[in-house]
Structure 1
Amino acid sequence: MTAVAAATAIATRPGWVTDERIAEWNRWVFRDPAASATSTAVAPYDGRPTAAVPVSSAGDVVDAIASARRAQTRWALLPWRTRAGIVLRFHDLLVERQDEVIDLIQWEMGKARFSAWQEILQVATIARHYARHGHRYLVDHQVRGAIPGLTKVREVRVPKGVIGMISPWNYPLYLAVGDVLPALLAGNGVVSKADSQTPLTLLWTRALLAEAGLPRDIWHVVVGPGSVVGDALIGSPDAPGAGVDHICFTGSTATGRHVGRRAGEMLIAASLELGGKNPLVVLADADVEKAAAGCVAAAFANTGQMCIHIERVIVHEDVYDEFRAALVAATEALTLGQTFDYGADVGSLASPAQLEAVTSHVASAVAAGATVLTGGRARPDLGPLVHEPTVLEGVTPDMPVCLEETFGPVISLYRVATDLDAIQKANEGRYGLSASIWSRNTAHAEALAGRIRAGSVNVNDGAAAAAGSIEAGMGGMGDSGLGRRHGAEGMRKYTESQTVATQRLVPLGPPAGMALERFVGLGNAQLRLLRRLRVR
């Protein structure tokens, strides 16, 4: 049995996407007007070209950074309420016109419409939160000085300058704009590299922020291959000052290592959200039906092309058979297809490379002895890049699907005898992005959560509870990255901590005419007094 097939739409570009609208968006690509190079992606639904988009050169990137740096000095002087007002107007426009960008996301990336709508939900929530509360993350903090009462000290937050953003194709709105908004609100300029598969989504969003009042030069978008545009964003030791002041990257672990090395050479900070092979643990006392439904939602949302999606399902032997049956039934109840409405639960993969990765992992596992419980096939009858949601059993460590990231609609089931076995299994491999535990005893599950190596652990939810709680940080451990988005760190990472110390009445050091021995003696007496008074 396989997932239910939905009626397949004629997958031409949305009718409202005219050549005039595309030309309007393309004007937001920062590049030399005299240049003529373009790139054109392929729509996953039908394999046809989407639209030609101008390509930026390395020199264009340097110029974009310089332009944003000039604009940043003015932008940072604006009152918080002015910057926040722009972001809140963007929020309202995004909610009002969401159907346009949802169409673009589906056309460029191929996901089901509900998965595309979830990007609206996340970005709108991020916009509201940081616009209304972000200033609290940046407020001055007063601390005790060198001499209590005589030294006044404040820790303040100042913008880093220009932030470079490299975002992926799988969430072309959320993972691109969700990081841009706190960077802008913190007073920075931004230069974003649009992914070559999904540039129109980001360009549409840049135009919408301009309509909300964002100045043209404070946020630039560049387009081109990572080896050219991405490296130019980070800069080179041969051209100090030409690169950005912080690089935010979301993508594969392999590319993240390259970005981290380049950032280290430039002595700039890098925040990196990378790959995952995320586990879901079902304890013996779990509600099996709810756990199966939560697993399906977390494994097959976004067609499995989600950094925090579930790929490994670890089940206590007492409920293994019952859970397996419920999981297979819930998977086979999904609707699979390509529609520009809410008729499909699972859409297309984004590219031939993704389809090849998925089919390769499944085929090699089956050849080595794994069993397909449901799914397991590409579905060219529904679309050129459609693959069935797949559940595997009998996966062993020698199979690539065991611990290598699949990044598609494939999960593997594992039976364990104890909670300790489950935690050990969950911690296998080098990734540590997200995890899930299901149990009726939430206190016990929360205690076990601290023993799982993952940046986020969801109890009785697959993945969304932690990711949607944007006042809490989101990021990875191990090979899943460095730093956090969301919460306080999601904004503070775009600032530098600066100490401002003001000395009053007397300067530090010995007064004129006092012997150093006398000053040292007084200092030692002060140390003993402060110790007795329990001061610091």
Structure 2
Amino acid sequence: MTGAPTYAAPMAPDLIADPETDPTATYAVDPALVRRLARRVVAAPRATHHVSHTPMTGAPLASLPLSTREDVVVAVDAARAAQRSWARTPMELRERILLRYHDLVLERQVELLDVVQLESGKTRLQAFEEVADVALVARHYARNAASYLRPRRRTGLFPVLTQSTEHHHPRGVVGIVSPWNYPLSLAITDALPALMAGNAVVLRPDLQASLTALQAVQLLTEAGLPESVLQVVLGDGENVGQAVVDLADYVCFTGSTSTGRRVAASVATRLAGYSLELGGKNSMYVADDADLDKAVQGAVRACFSSAGQLCISVERLLVHASVVDEFRTRFVAAVEAMTLGPALAYGTDMGSLVSAAQLARVSDHVDDARAKGATVLTGGRARPDLGPWFYEPTVLEGVTAAMDVRDDETFGPVVSLYTVHGDDEAVRAANDTDYGLNASVWTRDTARGRRVATAIEAGTVNVNEGYAAAWGSVAAPMGGMKQSGVGRRHGSEGILKYTESQNVTVQHVLPIAPVAGLSDEAYARVMTAALRTLKAVGRR
């Protein structure tokens, strides 16, 4: 360390005893609230319970019932029965539900922020990103779903005589398997367009993110969504998550690339549709003409938001040789000025990792790099004085292909600094990965930034921002290239993927066949002439 970061004082949550579920434990969330939300879980009356813990202090957070594979069958059957009437619900009513949901999420944001923080360990500002994201997605699909889904006339075989219309029908039951790192956004924003398209949803959030997901679902019910249309099951991925994958008509999965491959293989055996948002090894290029003040602060946000536990966060800094020395000095100083701590209030810059497993992965990557010759410019150690799974924001230099951190996704507050000598080298370095989820380019010349961005093999590329600009532009698609995923969320693709497209074509007057005594050969000559004429007149 070249200096010592300052830290906010640890927060001690108001721990409340729950004698009904565990008379020996105290819980970080009001047990009465937990019991109300638990009623939304499809589980047997005497189901086994899971106790989650908050990464902020390690204290027990909530005790919730676990579903079984049989419960998933019940949930899917109930959702399928409800979907038929939901699909007939007028679009105007669906729109009103989502717009009410938009308002409720903003009105109840304090309680949502508390639970998001307690489940994920992130700071309050980074938790607010999730609240804003849900409101943006709800408004977007409330206002645009009808346009995305409306029947569209398409060019027929022959002008006037052939009239084709494209329709979109709901797939039925959409299964959503969501992760822990964005417990509000990733649990509910994929469900909103699926519901607007007339589908029912069975949601299996990660156990660490269950309470936030249940709160989000409860608010949807308050907004007017029929309860049976959105079913929630809780349990591990191997059994309960797999059951959702096996039974849903369409599967939306967000998580690691390794698990995503297994999901894809499983769904493919029954020819069901799926979309996957998976891992990333995202880069940020700082060009020689970049505004370094803005680039440094943008890098801090891009690398360390949610303690780096964000699939679109930056893990590789590619800095032009002419500015690398100045950037390094400024960036390290900015990282060392960050405040860390567990606080249910605005003001800290970085929170905790989510679990012991995440802490171990981050520690292993840094220790392996250090042992093989990398330089730790700042950070590089756990901070158990702040909470059980805190780790300092860490900057590495001198990373080589022999080190795990070079190519493997860390998913933590660790970034590696590399020197490049121009745009072409930066693009090659950015593309030198199996992943292709997000990237960032910093330059005062936005035309140059766009040129560089389009050469990078990533589903989203931000110019003069780290990740939030593309993520927050919900009318545009978001997703991964290469090993970072299949399909897109947001925009038209984010709702049309939940539909089956259908072509209904009406043929008028003449059949597509020989008529009026024409021989087959004469018919072929007539058709050949017609096709040439259509091309000559510019027919599309």
The bucket for the TM-score relative to the shorter chain is over 0.9
Shift of 1:523: 3.6
Show the counterpart of 2:92: 81
- Equivalent residue for 2:176, pick from 142, 156, 165: 165
Show the counterpart of 1:185: 196
Task: Say whether the 8 Å CA contact 2:72–2:233 is kept in structure 1.
Answer: yes
Show the counterpart of 2:23: none
Q: Quick one: structure 1 residues 467 and 532, their matched pair in 2 at CA, closer, same or farther if it must change by over 3 Å?
A: closer
Show the counterpart of 1:5: 7
Show the counterpart of 2:32: 20
Show the counterpart of 1:195: 206
Asked if 1:487 corresponds to 2:491, the answer is yes
3-state SS in 1 of match to 2:117: helix
3-state SS in 1 of match to 2:192: helix
Summarize the alignment of residues 171-250 of structure 1 with structure 2, pairs less than 5 Å apart: 171-235=182-246, 243-250=247-254
Task: Say whether the 8 Å CA contact 2:162–2:505 is kept in structure 1.
Answer: yes
Show the counterpart of 2:41: 29
Q: Distance in 1 between matches of 2:91 and 2:84?
A: 14
Amino acid corresponding to residue 68 of structure 1 in structure 2: A
Deviation digits for residues 461-511 of structure 1 (CA, Å, limit 9, x no counterpart):
111111111111111111111111111101111111100112233444344
Moved more, 109-118 or 2-11: 2-11
Q: Distance in 2 between matches of 1:276 and 1:39?
A: 30
Summarize the alignment of residues 84-95 of structure 1 with structure 2, pairs less than 5 Å apart: 84-95=95-106
Q: Distance in 2 between matches of 1:426 and 1:140?
A: 41
Q: Distance in 2 between matches of 1:147 and 1:469?
A: 39
Q: Quick one: structure 1 residues 410 and 152, their matched pair in 2 at CA, closer, same or farther if it must change by over 3 Å?
A: same
State TM-score, norm by structure 2: 0.95
Q: Distance in 1 between matches of 2:30 and 2:115?
A: 12
Asked if 1:372 corresponds to 2:376, the answer is yes
Show the counterpart of 1:239: none
- The alignment of Structure 1 onto Structure 2 pairs a total of residues equal to 528
Asked if 1:356 corresponds to 2:360, the answer is yes
Q: Distance in 2 between matches of 1:531 and 1:75?
A: 45
Deviation digits for residues 154-173 of structure 1 (CA, Å, limit 9, x no counterpart):
01111111111011000011
Amino acid corresponding to residue 83 of structure 1 in structure 2: R
Q: Distance in 2 between matches of 1:370 and 1:522?
A: 73
Q: Quick one: structure 1 residues 305 and 519, their matched pair in 2 at CA, closer, same or farther if it must change by over 3 Å?
A: same
Shift of 1:204: 1.0
Summarize the alignment of residues 210-359 of structure 1 with structure 2, pairs less than 5 Å apart: 210-235=221-246, 243-359=247-363
Shift of 1:270: 1.3
Task: Say whether the 8 Å CA contact 1:439–1:445 is kept in structure 2.
Answer: yes
Q: Distance in 1 between matches of 2:505 and 2:8?
A: 66
Show the counterpart of 2:61: 50
Cα RMSD over matched residues?
A: 1.7
Task: Say whether the 8 Å CA contact 2:13–2:28 is kept in structure 1.
Answer: no
Deviation digits for residues 420-457 of structure 1 (CA, Å, limit 9, x no counterpart):
22221111120111111111111112111111111111
Task: Say whether the 8 Å CA contact 1:3–1:389 is kept in structure 2.
Answer: no
Deviation digits for residues 120-152 of structure 1 (CA, Å, limit 9, x no counterpart):
011101101110122211121101223321222
Shift of 1:261: 0.5
Deviation digits for residues 256-293 of structure 1 (CA, Å, limit 9, x no counterpart):
00001111112111111101111111111111121111
Q: Quick one: structure 1 residues 145 and 421, their matched pair in 2 at CA, closer, same or farther if it must change by over 3 Å?
A: closer
3-state SS in 2 of match to 1:324: helix
Q: Distance in 1 between matches of 2:351 and 2:521?
A: 79
Moved more, 200-209 or 146-155: 146-155
- Equivalent residue for 1:426, pick from 430, 441, 450: 430
Q: Distance in 1 between matches of 2:520 and 2:451?
A: 57
Show the counterpart of 2:19: none
Amino acid corresponding to residue 471 of structure 2 in structure 1: A
Shift of 1:195: 0.6
Q: Quick one: structure 1 residues 149 and 335, their matched pair in 2 at CA, closer, same or farther if it must change by over 3 Å?
A: same
Shift of 1:533: 4.0
Q: Quick one: structure 1 residues 154 and 421, their matched pair in 2 at CA, closer, same or farther if it must change by over 3 Å?
A: same
Q: Quick one: structure 1 residues 102 and 150, their matched pair in 2 at CA, closer, same or farther if it must change by over 3 Å?
A: same
Q: Quick one: structure 1 residues 527 and 475, their matched pair in 2 at CA, closer, same or farther if it must change by over 3 Å?
A: closer
3-state SS in 2 of match to 1:496: strand
Task: Say whether the 8 Å CA contact 1:247–1:270 is kept in structure 2.
Answer: yes
Shift of 1:332: 1.3
Shift of 1:525: 4.5
Q: Quick one: structure 1 residues 434 and 533, their matched pair in 2 at CA, closer, same or farther if it must change by over 3 Å?
A: closer
State TM-score, norm by structure 1: 0.95
Q: Distance in 2 between matches of 1:522 and 1:291?
A: 64
Shift of 1:113: 0.9
Q: Distance in 2 between matches of 1:520 and 1:447?
A: 48
Q: Distance in 1 between matches of 2:14 and 2:68?
A: 30
The percentage of aligned residue pairs carrying the same residue is 49
- Equivalent residue for 1:503, pick from 484, 493, 507: 507
Moved more, 48-57 or 245-254: 48-57
Summarize the alignment of residues 26-175 of structure 1 with structure 2, pairs less than 5 Å apart: 26-33=38-45, 35-175=46-186
Task: Say whether the 8 Å CA contact 1:12–1:46 is kept in structure 2.
Answer: no
Q: Distance in 1 between matches of 2:44 and 2:384?
A: 41
Q: Distance in 1 between matches of 2:148 and 2:209?
A: 32
Q: Quick one: structure 1 residues 268 and 382, their matched pair in 2 at CA, closer, same or farther if it must change by over 3 Å?
A: same
Q: Distance in 1 between matches of 2:347 and 2:15?
A: 18
Q: Distance in 2 between matches of 1:364 and 1:517?
A: 74
Deviation digits for residues 88-133 of structure 1 (CA, Å, limit 9, x no counterpart):
1111111101111111111111111111111001110110111012
Task: Say whether the 8 Å CA contact 1:13–1:107 is kept in structure 2.
Answer: no
3-state SS in 2 of match to 1:450: helix
Amino acid corresponding to residue 101 of structure 1 in structure 2: L
- Equivalent residue for 2:414, pick from 410, 429, 435: 410
- Equivalent residue for 1:396, pick from 394, 400, 409: 400
Shift of 1:316: 1.0
Q: Quick one: structure 1 residues 116 and 527, their matched pair in 2 at CA, closer, same or farther if it must change by over 3 Å?
A: closer
Amino acid corresponding to residue 30 of structure 1 in structure 2: V
Amino acid corresponding to residue 97 of structure 1 in structure 2: R
Shift of 1:415: 1.2
Q: Quick one: structure 1 residues 135 and 363, their matched pair in 2 at CA, closer, same or farther if it must change by over 3 Å?
A: same
Task: Say whether the 8 Å CA contact 1:46–1:384 is kept in structure 2.
Answer: yes
Amino acid corresponding to residue 350 of structure 1 in structure 2: V
